[in-house]
Amino acid sequence: RQTRCVTVEYAEMHIDVTPIVRLANTPDRVGHIFHAKKGTPASQHRRIEANPWGFGRWYAAQTPADDWFGDLLLERSLSANGRIAKSADVEPPPGQEELYRKARATVALQLIKRHVQMLYDRRPNIRRPPSVALSCSVGWNAGGERTLLDEVIHQAAAFRAKLINANAIAECVEIRNPEWEPDLFTDRWPENLDAQRLFINDLNRFIAALEKARSATSDELERIFATLFGERVTTDVLSEKAAREGTRFSAPGPSVQPRSGRVVASTSTLGGGSVVRPRKQTFFGSDD
């Protein structure tokens, strides 16, 4: 049980289930969610107007999917160690994962969330910036032809600028749902200016490290990205994408082997695919 949802844990992922009660005479799916921190008296519990469904539709419209990341990962997987699965038993991957066909801005968001998760896992008593606020910022600032490295820097800098502007007038940043103004995404973070300044400094270091990556050697790139994101798959794909400036490869979509969770990148040219074990879905970060 969380303060505003119930988390259901699975072996490779988790789902946050948030009850909502619809409000009459409002746009579709606007309703009350419930804030009730475990152990606090009922007098401190409250209802909060929210429209997560509307925000999800808005974000999807702001960040249309493309194939660049899937094509890069397929190209890499087909050449990895020369391993080819010639007669794999495959089925379409689960529709809800959609790992291989995402907008560049969304992959940048996931990488930023991963970095934030790593930072705040080391600060167990400090509330982390809400993922939905980061998502909203990415939606506002998506678009443009940028490499993945450029996109991550662009999105981190855009969020930092919003925090700096608020800090300059001694106020905590305020980010609201563009589909329902009463829905305040930053109602619990930042709690004060110190929390806001802490994350500004985090973003300063994050952006500086990414800027350094522009001219880094391969070994330096690996160290930088391993430090920032902590996952070898992310390190490899991000390094290659930054170095190769968007090289594309045409291949059919991936499949997964039943009961194994292994991804098979199929191609008619090679008659099979290289088997790559995917990371946990929580690799991209999540919010309590």
**Beta bridge partner(s), residue 46:** 35
Helix 193-213 vs helix 218-229: angle between axes, to the nearest 10 degrees?
Answer: 160
Identify residue 148 by its one-letter amino acid code: L
Global pTM reads 0.72
- What pLDDT does 145 receive? 77
- What pLDDT does 251 receive? 32
> How many whole angstroms separate alpha carbon 105 and alpha carbon 155?
8
Q: Give start and end residues of each alpha helix (H) in 17-124.
A: 52-62, 68-79, 104-121
- What pLDDT does 225 receive? 84
Mean pLDDT by 10 residues, the chain (288 residues): 91 86 93 94 95 94 74 49 43 46 85 93 94 97 87 96 98 98 96 98 97 86 84 57 46 38 34 34 35
- What pLDDT does 234 receive? 55
- What pLDDT does 83 receive? 44
Q: Give start and end residues of each alpha helix (H) in 38-192.
A: 52-62, 68-79, 104-121, 131-141, 148-168
How many other C-beta atoms are found inside a 10 Å radius of the C-beta of residue 165? 11
